[in-house]
Structures are given as C-alpha cells and as structure tokens.
Structure 1
C-alpha cells in the first residue's frame, strides 16, 4: 500500500515534467520546417508537430483537393477548393482550441459591449482541439497529425450522397504526403494521403469506372495556413444592377431605419501606382497561372482567352494590370499565393468552373481558382464533326475547321471561368445584346453560306464584351480623391443601361418556368423565335447531309449515333429559349429613381408566334430521322458501351428512332407545361395582356390530336406526341402547385380529347387506331399514373460543361 501511495504521488510530478518540456528538447531529433508556422517532421512515428505561436490572431485556413477521383458526377476533382475559414488559436489549460468566429453576424461598432452581445448571441465553431506536448517562450508544440489526416473535405459524405458507397477513412492507409508539405514566410502548407475503405455494400458505378480497387479510394487533401491581408483593402458596396458575387453579413449595430444586411462585392485588390493618372500601372498586378500540364494547342488557346480580361482592365484605367503566365515548375498550384487555371482530367466530360478563396471579413479575393475539364473540347469537336460531315476522304481536312472551332470555344471558356474568379456572376441576357459578355453561355454561331453550306468560321467571339468592361469598371476602377464613389458607381450602371446593356443572372435564366424572354443559356440572337428558325434551317441541312462522312475511316459505324445526338438536338436550347416568350415578361433589376423599365408583359401576338415556332419542332416531319441514316447505325460492338450520351431506347440493342423523337418532343412540352408558366398565362389572359393557357392548349391539340392522320414512322411519332401532350395535361390537372384556374383549363382540354376519342371510335374502322383511342380513354381515367419526364430524358448536350456551383 505504501508503494502504491508513493506512485500515485509521483503521477502529478510526471505530468508536470512532461508539460514543462521545451520545444527544442521535444523536437531535437525531428526535421524542422521554418516559416509562417514552424513545424517538425518525426520520421520515426510519421507525425507532424505544429508550433503554434500566434494565439488569438486571425489566420486564414483553407482546404483543397490536389489529387482527385476523376469522376465528374461525384465532383471530387483535382484542384477543387474546400471551405475557407478564418481561425484563431486559443490556449485553455493544456489544450489549444482552433476556433472559427461567426462573421455572418457582427456589430461593426467601436462599442466593445455591443460587439460582445452579438458574438455571444450566435454560435462559433471549435474546429479542433490540440493537446500541448511542449512549450517555449509563448509558443506551443502540438501533434497535428490526426487533424491533417482527417476527412477535412467530407469525402465520405460526398460519396454517400452520390450513391457511390458507404466509405470510412482508413487510418492504417492514411499518412502525410511530404513532397507537398512545405513552409514559407507567409504561408504553411500541409498535404496528406487519405484512403477511404468501403464499409458495406458495393462501390457505385462512377467509383468503379475510375478507381483501380474501388473498395479503397486514395486521394490527397491539402491544408493551407496563410497570413491574412493587411487592413488596407477597401470594400465596395454591392448594387442590385451590378453583376458581382456578394459578401454579405448582418450588422446589428445598424440604425433601425437602415437595412441590417450589408452586401459588398467580392474582388481582388488592385491599386494604381499613380492614383491621379487616368491610366496607370498597378502596384501589384493580378496574375493568373496556367497549369503547366496543359498540352498544346490547348495551352495557347487558354492563355489567349484568359488574357482577354486585360482589355477590360485597360478600359478601367489600368495598364497591363491583368496577366496570364505558365505556372513555374517550382511553384505549387495549391499555394494560395497563385491564382490558378487548372486543366482537369475526368473519365467523362463535365463542367468547368471558377471558384475563389475569399476573405469573409471583407470580400477580398485572395486566390482565384479555375478548373477546366479536359474532355469538354472533344464534345465541341464532336458538335462540329456532326455539322460539317468532313470525312469524305481518308484524312482530316487541312484547315481542320472542327479543331479551330473547339479552340475558339476554349478561349471563351477560359475567359468565362476566370471572370467568376474576378468576382462576376453570369449574365444570361448578353447574347441578346450583341454578345456583350463572356459571362453568358454561348451556343456556336453556325451560319449558312450562299450555297447553303454550313460554316463555323465565326462560331465564337474573340474578345471581351462591352458588358464585361462595364463590370470591371464598376468593381475595380479607382476614383480620384474627393470623388463621391456611390455617385460614380451609379453613373457607370446608368450609362450602361442607357447604351442598351443590362444584366440578368442565374436564378432567372435557369428557372424551368423561365420568365424573361431574352435570359437563357446557349441561345443566340436578339429574338429567340428568329434564332430558333435560324437553328432549324441549319439543323435541316446537317440532317440532310448526315451519313458516312460524319465519322473517320476505321470508326465502327455504331459510333454514328454519338455524332447524330448533338445534330438531332441542335435546336434544344433555342427552343427552350423560345418557350420563355410564352407567358413571358421583360424586366430589369431596377432600383427606385434610376428610370429603368421595370416590367412589361410579352404581347399576345409575340407569344402566339413563339408557340407556332415551337410546335414546328414537334412536327413529325421535323422529328423523323431518315431511314437512310437509321440503317447505318448497328448495335455497338463489344468494348463500346451504351452511355448516357446516347438516346434512350425501347428496342434492345437496336437504334430506336421513335425514342429519339420522344426525347425531342418532350423537351419543349415540359417547359410549356411548367406550372408557374401556366399559372401566369391564366392570369395574363384575364388582364388582357397575354396568351391564355387554354388558348395554348387548344392550338397544341389542333396540331396533334386533330391534325390529319399520318402513316408509317411519321404516324407513330404523331401518336407519341399526342400521348406526351396528354401526359402533361393529366399530371397538371392534379398538381397542387397549379392554380384552380390552371387545373380547370387542363380538365376542359382533357374532356375535349376524351370526347374526340369517343367520336372517333364510333366512325373509325382501323383496328389499331381504335385500340389507340381506347388506350387514351383508359389513361384519362387515371391521371395519377401520368408521369412527365420534366425534361430529364435528353442526353447531356451543353456546348460547355458547367457546375452550377459554378457561380
């Protein structure tokens, strides 16, 4: 018992001796990395020991993924950025707590008590707790290995959300990655190799496609600790008419008469060397670095396109203030000091996007980070291949117009995604205003020559747009001392509006019930209906020319279907744009006193013209694929998969032209029968300002059910169109989002079809058609069984991939 008491008495002394260990003593056999945060590598244990000497100071902490999964659908791509944190380290006893203050709620006030009241009203987050192992002169040494080797990007959750399997982080196969673990005076960089093991069930198809052993996924996670910028950055207020992404927070020190939510734009810091000069070089130019793994000729195209932004900065009064360079071999693309344009490889084509590391306190952009999918260029090439049918010889045409178009698209893509990292949102009305912005999504400007041949010579613009210059002036222009900045910024936007430039962004353009007739993705021209008719003419020429010359010699004929899809659906985005005219309304983001037009309903005549053009796109003659083409497409040979890039089929391995027609007919009807559009239309009719939903349906029924009966494949497409239309009528009639007036219009139309079917049954002698009519009447009895596709059926076909996490 006496020995036990002595041992117990010695335990506190042992703990005290341990906590009194100096950093020098603890780390004497480790490799030291001196820099922003000194740290040590213990090779015998595989541990990182972090020296924390910046207590209660704000530090930027950023996670990222330098080595990705390679599947577009999961989204864990090389180069993506994780959450940006502002953290502080606080000592509590033998612990160091890494905390994130809550910058979404503040009191921008000199009153300490007022600030404290807000801080205590909203939760903060303790991200990690470290145990102190040694200390010297106010610095503390902690084991940071578990912190750096954790699932900092929530990869297991992302895999589960994508239905790729239930994975867990396997610590036995996770370790530090020393080649990318470095230290610098203003930033400290760590990287770890992390392995995720399947817990139960099977890995998903996307993981199976890209991982050598799908049960074990090994990636790398990067951690950056960076000194925050100084306090000399001046935030700029956001204006609803401007295109900038916002940095917002609630300021509880705001007087009651003023808005509590504060909105500032995000942007890079840029200052003139000579603030009095109309044009001046910058104190520190904005420099972007292109991934040095990008091959030629793609490298040159991306360099050129990204560099277009210097045109906008020149117009804003800066000389050579925006530059693009190749990343030096000695530089690390994950280093937050480098704005990056990454060239990302995936197993399938997918989105490109622009992201940014932003100081949440001020909105200052610290790092721009662009990710460009490498397979996108091949899809652009395929679109050109389908339009030109160039392979009438055994070799490529010398000028290779397809490659030139694809490279021109890459230039625009580079400019577009860099634009996001400069702080800009999309502007989807720009294509209707003379291609005013690279921040729109441009469909290739395909044209017909005098001899009715397709040319891609001017498929894409080759410069920054007029709206982009307005945007950079608003966000980055410096004003001479004494200038009222608010007045100067307002003048920039008012002058732009007076010159015919405007701004409509994502929420408006992407809404399935799209309201603004000129705000759309992948459309062209000032008028969507005229644009649709132009595209239909070009599609007709391409379909008429379609055949063996659309693929190279030695290519399996089954691959003709891959080329056919974008040609057959070439009109898909322009027809969607035209649907926005029906039940549409022009509007601006007007503010009180700026004199802009606020709202204006599209006239009934314009809506009817749009509807007529849309109906031409479901005409059986338009949707029929020539038998000469279908006979050229056999089942795919072994080794060539059926992918989502192809049409759905109900014919087994055989090509299904009826399914292709169903996809193309369903698309415009799915947009026309969006419930918010229908609800607007019944209201517009009552106020005498637009086309009624009942009038639209009457026209559709007249052009389908009550049109002259067709034979052969055209007749099958006609019946299919009728049933698709009936599906939308039935589904809407019981949709709780539809207004009572809308449901009433659906019920009337359904009864009209029912009575028509009854009358035809009495007089028609065609047994097959009578069976079809009986099927129709049975469907009408069970509206709950009508399941519209809501435009999910078409193969992916955007002329550009987009993540719309892409701003």
Structure 2
C-alpha cells in the first residue's frame, strides 16, 4: 500500500504539472507570429505587446552577463559615458517548476581541488546571488521560453543610483517611457545583445545642474542600456600568475584547498589569449591575432592618428615573439561596436572635457580578456590645442598660423590611443617611467616636453615621444610570451623581470602616485625628468618666457577679448603637476615593489640635498615674480560678454564680473600649499628627522615657507598684492595642518608652534606706526585668525579655497 500511495502521488504530481501547463503552446506555437532572432540565446519579439521572449536550452552551463551604456548622458562629471562597460557576472539559469532563476556564482571563494565534495563545501559556505526570476511561458524538447521584457528593461547599469550619487536629485525609471530598442538588438553565435531605451524621471526636487546642462528636459533623462549574454571561453586558456613588479591588473580569489603553508589568495593577471602557430619558433605568426577596431565616427585626421598610435603595440608583441599579432583597423561599415567580437576604440563626446580610459570584458574565472573597450574623450584634442595656443600665441598679423598646434594634438592622440589600449591589454599605469627616461612607457601620463627656441619662444616640436617604450615591451613579454614545452614558467617570467630591473626599468602605479601626500620621489603624473626639482625650475623658465609673449595673439581675430582668460589658464598653471612631483621629495621615500630574494632596493630616504633643492624649487612657485600677472595683460581681460559665461575652466575670484588676478594667484598658491602642508607628508617629515637629523624636518619646511612669504621683504604694486594673497593662503593651510583630524599629534604640535611664532612676529608688525593701512590690516587680520584658531582649532581643519580650474591636461584625475 505505501508503494501504491507513493505511485499515485507521483502520478497526481505529474498530472498537476501537466495541467498547470495546459493551454500553453509549444515554443514554436507561442512565437509563430513573432520576429525571431537566432543566436546564443534565441530571442522572439512580439511587436504587438512590446514583449521580448528569451529561449533557454540549458540550465547548468555558465555564461557571462554584462551591462553597458551605448548611449550615455554626456557629462564627464556624471560619469555615464557612451560605451561604458558595467560589471561582468558569471551566471547560469536554474529551473524549479514554472520558475526560472538567474543565479550569479560567488567566484571570490573557490576550491582548486578535483574532489567534488571539497568544491561543494566551499560553494555551500558562501552566498550566491539570484539576479532575476522568470516565469515559463512555453516549453518543448527540454527548452523553455520566458518573458524577459522586464529583465531587459530594468536599470542594470545603475543610472538612477549614479544620478543620486552625483547629487542631481532622485530619479526613478519610468516604464511608460521605456522600451526594447529592437533596431539595436542582435544575436550572434557567441553572444546575445539586447538594447533598451530607458527613461528616468525626477522623483522630487532636482538639486543639480549637471543633468540640466546635457538634456533637453532635465526632468526626463533618456539613455540606452545594453545587456550582453556572452558564451564563456572554453579554449584551453592557461591563467598566468600576477607579479606586483610586472605592471598588470589582476583578479583575485581565495582558494580553500591551498596546501598549508601556501598562500590562499590567488592573483592572476588579465590578458588576451594569444598562441603561436609555431610554438618552437622565436618569432611566429599567431593562431588568431588580436585586432582592435577604431570608431568610424572619429573624424580625420584623428582617426588615422588613433590607428597609428594603437598600432604601436605590435612592436611590443614582436619583442615577445609574435609576428603581426596585434592589428588595428577601422570598424567595418555596419558592424556594431557593442558586438563582443570587436575590440573597440571609441571616440566619445561630452559637454565638458574629461577622462579617457581603457576597460575590458574579462572572464572572472581566469582573467582572460574577452573584449577590449577604449573610450577616448574628444574634447581632449581641443584642450591640447588650447594649451598650444597659450604657449605659442600663434595668431600674429601677417603671419601664417603655425601647424605646430595641430601636430601637437595628433602626437598626443597617438600617445593617448596607445596608452588606453594598453589598459585593455591588461596593463596598469607605470608612473615611474618618466623619471627613468623619456619614452620609457606609454603607460605613464606624459607632460609635453616644451623647450625654448633661439628667440626665447616655446618650441613644441618634441612635445611627445613616438612609439612603444622599453617598459611596455617588458610588460608584454611577461604577460604574453609563450614558452617551449617543459619550460619552468615561473623561472622564465622571473628572468624577464630580473633582466628589466637590472637595466633600471621598474614599475610604480596609482596607489603610490596619485595621493597628494604620497612619498615615492620618482612616481608622478604629468611630469618629466629624473630630478623633479631641476625640471620644475626649467619649466618655470619656459612658463615665464611664454607669459612674456602672451597677449591678444593667443586668440583668433573676431573672438571676444574675454576669451583670453580661458586661454591663460593652462599657461598660468603650467607648472602645477611638476610642482607636485618636486614636493614628493620632501619627506620622500624611494622604494620598489620588492620581493624577498630579488635583490632590489627596498627603501631609501631622499637625501637631504635633494630635499633642500626640491623645497627651494617648490617655494619658487609662491614667489611674486612667478605668480604676478603684468598690468599690460590685465588691461586685455574685460568682463565676459553675453553668451560667453565663465565655466569650470575659468579662474574663480572675488571681484564679481571682472577678472580677478588675485583669484588666479590664490588658486595657484593653494595648489602649492596643499602640497607643503599635507598631513601625510608632515608626519613623515617629523619621523624621518628623528631617524636622521641631517634631513629637513617639518619645522624646517614651515620656517622656510614663512621666510619666503610672511617674513620676506615687502614689495610694492601688483607684486605686493600677490604677497598678501600668498601669505593668506600659507596661513590658512598652516592652521589647517595644526587642526587636521588625520594629522599625527607631532605634526599638529609643530604646526601650532610655528603659528605661535608667526603670531609673535605679527604682534611686532602691528605696532609699527607708519605701516601702510592695507599692510597693517593684513597683519592684524592674520593675528586675529591665529587667536581664533587657539580658541576653536576644529573650525580651521579645512582651509577655505578658491577651486582651481581643472588645468592641463584635464585636472586632478585621469584613467
């Protein structure tokens, strides 16, 4: 009887399931009137209902899910660019009765064991994520049809969240103004591509102006979001170990089957898969080359420059043993840039200039790069042209316009294409390269190399180097070299890096270079030269020569004279990044990503002589002769006319509609003082002085700064005005350091003591009977400020500043 009851129950369950699907058509019947797109996951489009159905034939095979943004918002500040890639997910479908779940695997925790039980233990120990749920609409022959419309119309890219993060107000997806874009929805054997038009409406008051600047109606922001379902590679790819000295991005996971004594955390580099046709040959054609395609929308001569610059990488692949392995072509007419088969170099427009970057679609299981995606901001070319105009003042009456500006732009575009393509090959920034030698790596940020000709005018003919660098070849050799069978790969890879290190090539990247208080004296952004202080002095000389000739010839005839203000910005702040490089020598610590036994230098403080030379160079950037603009130039800078308002590219000021020369001085001084009074640098100066009394301490740096500013002899006229502005900036930053929550107690104590010394000096000045009224007021206000600090230090923790324009080449950050 029990068996009979069990059998009857099973029959009833089967009957129930059958009845539950009663009335359902087969897939063929359900979709007979729909538009069918065959491919990796067949799609069926019901134009009448606006529904898109997805056919699922396997419930166990992993695939890659990726979101992207084929149509962006157009504001660099919002960070929602055309062609932007989202995060990759390794997922699979799971069915239970009428329900289908889309489940993302947790690849952060794995087991390398071949034992299923060990793998299951790890899988069951950590959570997975169900990304979506579907209902079965039809089925036959083991396949099911689900309505995937809502899935493809949800905000997978997080546009609404990003608008909130950018303080633009709360936006929500409006389903009535969103739909599948079938003209851009395509299917291929290895990938299914679905494009959707999504509209986000303001939910409550709008708080930001960024959206309003780039949309016809800021209450409705409409973009395209793209969903890719991609077949994962299954081609025998062999992951390659990450080495912190090699200059690659990595993926990481924890292996719970690692033997005791072995690291649990596994690091693998990201790279394309490249194989030789003849593995035994020193130089061989590849089985399949890496091909990148340039956006057809990039205009000439930009497009050709992009092809040329990106093609430089073939030099590095030849050094790694491959012939014609890296190729660059213009995208074929009609090809879709979102197709996973095309590595893309896209030319992207924004309302304001901003970042370019290289991103990749990566197999999270192995680090294999499936597709490279380069995004190049088109306004970068315009900014480079503006820099050249500022330096050359080329629009002289009766003389032809110099071709040097256009040549500079194209040279920079070639280098930029190579740089961002390098990221999509797996390479990180190497910000130490420019300190080793010019042209060492395209993965550094290059500042234009500007010299003076025989007439004392700027010369841009050698602004940027050409071709791939020595470090780039080393990095590609590490990541892509194919070794003969039987080779000890670990030893072979270590030999590549050891040879590079012995020749003076090494790698230092973002984390050690970007922070204002970072310590490495040879790893900087937008700098030149092995000795940053010497180069800063040289660049200030070039800047002085260029300012001497700067005037109305810097803008074209017919342009409003007020436009000179914008052209002035990149010239006036020409030294900002080299100043940052020199400042890193103060309290600087030279170091490498050394491994035990690799015989590298590990750490070495910057010598006292180098620090003193750097301090002198940095303090020069606060001197009135550097920062004061001549009266003859100020007479050329009228208020802005209608239609030409100030922008984020303009200097801020305190004088209303008129150009404020002291606003420019204040911005430049604040840039320098942020470096001199940085809490991290201050703490190192204190500690390194205790370790070696020959090195300058924090009190030495502060006293030298006060001697060069507050304690310096008084000047008259515009230079005297500059002195007052610079001194105000110095005091604000000194008091900020003394109150900074993150500063070390010792650094705060030294800064407070130096402010007290300054207060005592000011007391003596305020007693001078015949002091000029403005100077007396300046001294008195400073003394009151120090006294107010003593009463409530916390109020001074953040110095008030005029925000500097982004400067050249694009500002504080880049990719």
Give 2:425's aligned residue.
Answer: 422
Partner of 1:265: 269
CA distance in 2, matches of 1:693, 1:803: 28
Alpha-carbon displacement from aligned partner over 1:61-88 (angstroms, at most 9, x marks no partner) = 1111111111111111110011111110
1:713 and 2:723 aligned: no
For 2:662 and 2:638, locate their aligned partners in 1 and report how far apart those are by CA, in whole Å: 16
Cα distance between partner residues in 2 of 1:138 and 1:802: 56
TM-score normalized by the length of structure 1: 0.96
In structure 2, the partner of 1:749 is 754
Distance 1:476 1:364 in 2: 12
Secondary structure of residue in 1 paired with 2:172:
strand
> Of 796, 801, 809, which residue of structure 2 is paired with 1:786?
796
Q: Residue 184 of structure 1 aligns with which residue?
A: 188
Residue 738 of structure 2 corresponds to residue 728 of structure 1: no
Secondary structure in 1 matching 2:536 = helix
Question: Are 1:315 and 2:325 an aligned pair?
Answer: no
How far apart are residue 737 of structure 1 and its match? 2.2
TM-score calculated relative to the size of structure 2: 0.95
CA contact (8 A) 1:59 1:87 kept: yes
Query: Does residue 1:657 correspond to 2:671, yes or no?
Result: no
- Between the aligned partners of 1:268 and 1:635, the Cα distance in structure 2 is 54
Query: How far is the alpha carbon of 1:467 from its aligned partner?
Result: 0.1
Alpha carbons of structure 1 residues 803 and 758: separation in structure 2 relative to 1, 3 Å: closer
Q: Does 1:89 find its partner at 2:89?
A: no
Residue 402 of structure 1: which of 375, 382, 405 is its match? Answer: 405
1:788 Cα deviation (Å)? 4.6
1:540 is aligned to 2:544? yes
SS of the residue corresponding to residue 540 of structure 2 reads: helix
1:172 and 2:176 correspond: yes
Choose 705-714 or 345-354, whichever is displaced more. 705-714
Task: Describe the shift of the 1:98–1:323 C-alpha distance in structure 2 as closer, same or farther (beyond 3 A).
Answer: same
Distance 2:19 2:786 in 1: 81
Please give the alpha-carbon distance, in whole angstroms, between the structure 1 residues aligned to 2:43 and 2:207.
38
After TM superposition, give the deviation of residue 396 of structure 1 in Å. Answer: 5.1
Deviates more, 1:767-776 or 1:134-143: 767-776
Instruction: Give distance in 1, aligned partners of 2:715 and 2:73.
Output: 51
Please state how far the C-alpha of 1:800 moved relative to its aligned partner.
4.9
CA separation in 2, counterparts of 1:561 and 1:46? 53
Deviation for aligned residue 1:122? 1.1
The equivalent position to 2:434 in structure 1, one of 431, 437, 444, is: 431
Q: What is the CA-CA distance between 1:17 and the residue it aligns to?
A: 4.2
Distance 1:514 1:346 in 2: 31
Give the equivalent residue in structure 1 for 2:777. Answer: 771
- Please tell me whether residue 115 in structure 1 is matched to residue 125 in structure 2: no
After TM superposition, give the deviation of residue 113 of structure 1 in Å. 1.6
Shift of 1:739: 2.1
Alpha-carbon distance between aligned partners in 1 of 2:333 and 2:565, rounded to the nearest angstrom: 42
Asked if structure 2 preserves the Cα contact closer than 8 Å seen for 1:100 and 1:124, the reply is: yes
Query: In 1, are the aligned partners of 2:532 and 2:578 still within 8 Å (CA)?
Result: yes
**Aligned mates of 2:322, 2:397 — CA distance in 1:** 51
Displacement after TM superposition at 1:755 (Å): 0.7
CA distance in 2, matches of 1:757, 1:792: 25
Tell me whether 496-505 or 786-795 shows the greater mean CA deviation.
786-795
Aligned counterpart in structure 2 of residue 696 of structure 1, from 698, 701, 722: 701
Residue 394 of structure 1, CA deviation: 6.6
CA–CA separation in structure 2 for the residues paired with 1:17 and 1:567: 73
1:200 match: secondary structure: coil
Contact 2:806 2:812 in 1 (8 A): no
- Give, in angstroms, the shift of residue 395 of structure 1: 7.2
Query: Which deviations, in whole Å up to 9, do the C-alpha atoms of 1:526-565 show, x marking residues without a partner?
Result: 1101110110011001110011111110000000001101
Q: What is the rounded CA distance, in whole Å, between the counterparts of 1:233 and 1:577 in structure 2?
A: 41
CA shift digits 1:215-274 (9 cap, x unpaired): 111111111111111140000001111100001100011122111100010000000000
Answer yes or no: is the 8 Å Cα contact 2:573–2:808 preserved in 1.
no
Instruction: Report if aligned partners of 1:52, 1:139 keep a CA contact under 8 Å in 2.
Output: yes
TM-fit CA distance, 1:450: 2.7
Matched, 1:520 2:530: no
Match of 1:412 in 2: 415
Equivalents in 2 of 1:105, 1:792: separation in Å? 47
1:542-581 pair list within 5 angstroms:
542-581=546-585
C-alpha deviation, 1:103, in angstroms: 0.5
1:357 aligns to 2:346 (yes or no): no
The RMSD of aligned alpha carbons is 1.6
Which residue, 796, 799, 802 being the options, matches 2:806? 796
8 Å CA contact 1:281–1:321 kept in 2: the answer is yes
Alignment map for 1:492-507 (pairs within 5 Å): 492-507=496-511
CA positional deviation for 1:580: 0.3
Deviation at 1:16, TM superposition (A): 2.1
1:143 corresponds to: 147
CA distance in 2, matches of 1:549, 1:496: 47
Tell me if structure 2 keeps the 8 A contact 1:429–1:504: yes
Do structure 1's residue 486 and structure 2's residue 496 form an aligned pair? no
Q: 1:802 to 1:40 in 2, by over 3 A?
A: farther
Return the match for 1:291 from 283, 292, 295.
295
Contact 1:665–1:721 under 8 Å retained in 2: yes
CA distance in 2 between counterparts of 1:442 and 1:122 reads 45
SS of residue in 1 equivalent to 2:203: strand
Report if the CA contact (8 A) 1:310-1:320 is conserved: yes
In 1, are the aligned partners of 2:527 and 2:578 still within 8 Å (CA)?
yes
Quote the residue 2:53 is aligned against: 49
How many residues are matched?
Answer: 794
Which residue pairs with 2:12 in the alignment? none
Query: d(CA) in 2 for partners of 1:771 and 1:373?
Result: 48
Aligned residue in 1 for 2:130: 126
Deviations 1:106-139 (A, max 9, x none): 0111121211111111111101000001100100
Gaps of 5+ in 1: 1-10
CA contact (8 A) 2:652 2:802 kept: no
Query: Do 1:394 and 1:552's aligned partners in 2 also have CA atoms closer than 8 Å?
Result: no
Residue 586 of structure 1 aligns to a residue whose secondary structure is strand
Deviations, residues 660-698 of structure 1 (Å, cap 9, x unaligned): 011111111111111111111111111125210001111
Which deviates the most, 701-710 or 232-241?
A: 701-710
How far is 1:803 from its partner? 6.2
Q: Distance in 2 between matches of 1:599 and 1:720?
A: 39
Shift in Å, 1:324:
0.4
For 1:43 and 1:780, the matched residues in 2 are separated by 73
Distance (Å, rounded) in 2 between the aligned partners of 1:437 and 1:131: 53
Distance 1:115 1:482 in 2: 30
| Post-superposition offset of 1:408 | 0.4
The superposition leaves residues 490-549 of structure 1 with CA deviations (integer Å, 9 ceiling, x where unpaired) of 011110011111101000010211201110000001110111011001100111001111
Hey, what's the Cα distance between the residues in 2 that align with 1:801 and 1:233? 40
Equivalent-residue separation in structure 2 for 1:648 and 1:338 (angstroms) = 44
Q: CA deviation at 1:734?
A: 2.2
Per-residue CA distance 1:154-177 (angstroms, 9 max, x = gap): 110001111122111110111110
Can you list the C-alpha shifts for 1:588-647, whole angstroms capped at 9, x where unaligned?
Answer: 111001111111101112111111111111111211000111110111111112101011
Equivalent residue, structure 2, for 1:738 = 743
Q: Which ranges of structure 2 fall in alignment gaps of 5 or more residues?
A: 1-14
Compared CA separation, residues 596 and 17, structure 1 to 2 (3 A): closer
Structure 2 SS opposite 1:781: helix
